[in-house]
Amino acid sequence: MPATARPALPALVGGRGCLDFANTLGPRRPDPGMEPHDYTPSYRELTAWAVHAGLLTPVQQRRLAAVAEADPDAAAGVHQHAGRLREAIYQTFAALAHGQPAPPAALAMIQHAYLEALGHGHLGPAPAGLDWRWPDRGPLEQVLWPIARSAVDLAVSGQLARIKQCPGDEGQCGWLFLDTSKNATRRWCSMGTCGGRVKSQRQAARLRAARTPR
């Protein structure tokens, strides 16, 4: 992820909605004294991100925004819960990315959010036939339902070996992504940011070394 510019909405580099949600806080490995940037600091911005990620429709967002405006305290409570779910998702898949067991408490939180979501979904028409769908009118928690489903879908997908954590430059970044490359050789969250910077730094180092008298 960029070290300087902070876009209003982060790039979707995770390959799955749940990983992109975990990446709404970053860098995950900041320098000492550096605070990670939160791209979803309020409920309204959380729903805006969900539209950006394709997890909510604009119609759903507008209706949730109206509910949040009518009950800001409830919206703040859901936003706090979203932050806890985000950390549970991050802890789970960061551990798996390094071949470690997922923390039981994090798994329990994801499971609880998923079971909550199932009570509100229904099967309905989709471009490929049928899919799990959410109502256009739902409670404030609706923003979390597709995130929880994405996390469980990924957890049981058989693709856990392809979950990786971006090393960034000088050990920063830490964003998560699903490596869908043919040979599973992808290393960076994005070649346009972390990968490109590291390659540029290495090239500059080689040029400096070539100019150094021997």
- 60's enclosing H/E stretch is helix 58-70
pLDDT digits (tens, 9 = 90+) for 6-48: 457 899 999 999 999 999 998 988 677 778 899 999 999 999 9
pLDDT of the residue at 63: 96
User: What is the distance between the alpha carbons of residues 151 and 144, in angstroms, rounded to a whole number?
Assistant: 11
Tell me the average pLDDT across 132-146: 92
Which two structure tokens, joined as six digits, stand for 198? 């590291």
Q: What is the pLDDT of residues 148-206, one digit of tens each?
A: 999 999 999 999 999 999 988 766 899 999 999 989 899 999 877 684 454 544 443 34
Structure-token pair, residue 152: 């469980």
For residues 203-212, average pLDDT: 45
Is-contact 1 10, C-beta < 8 A?
A: yes
- Torsion angle of the four alpha carbons 199, 3, 172, 89, in this order, in degrees rounded to the nearest 10: -120
Q: What is the pLDDT of residue 29?
A: 80
142, with CB counted inside 10 A (0-12, 13-18, 19+), is: buried
Residue 210 has pLDDT above 60, yes or no: no
pLDDT bin (cut points 50, 70, 90) of residue 208 is very low
One DSSP character per residue, 119-164 reads TT-EEEEETTEEEEE--SS--GGGGGHHHHHHHHHHHTTT-GGGEE
pLDDT tens per residue across span 86-119: 999 999 999 999 999 999 999 999 999 999 999 9
What does the pLDDT look like over 38-86, one tens digit per residue?
999 999 999 999 999 999 999 999 999 999 999 999 999 999 999 999 9
Lookup: tokens for 89: 């998702």
Q: Which pLDDT belongs to residue 205? A: 39
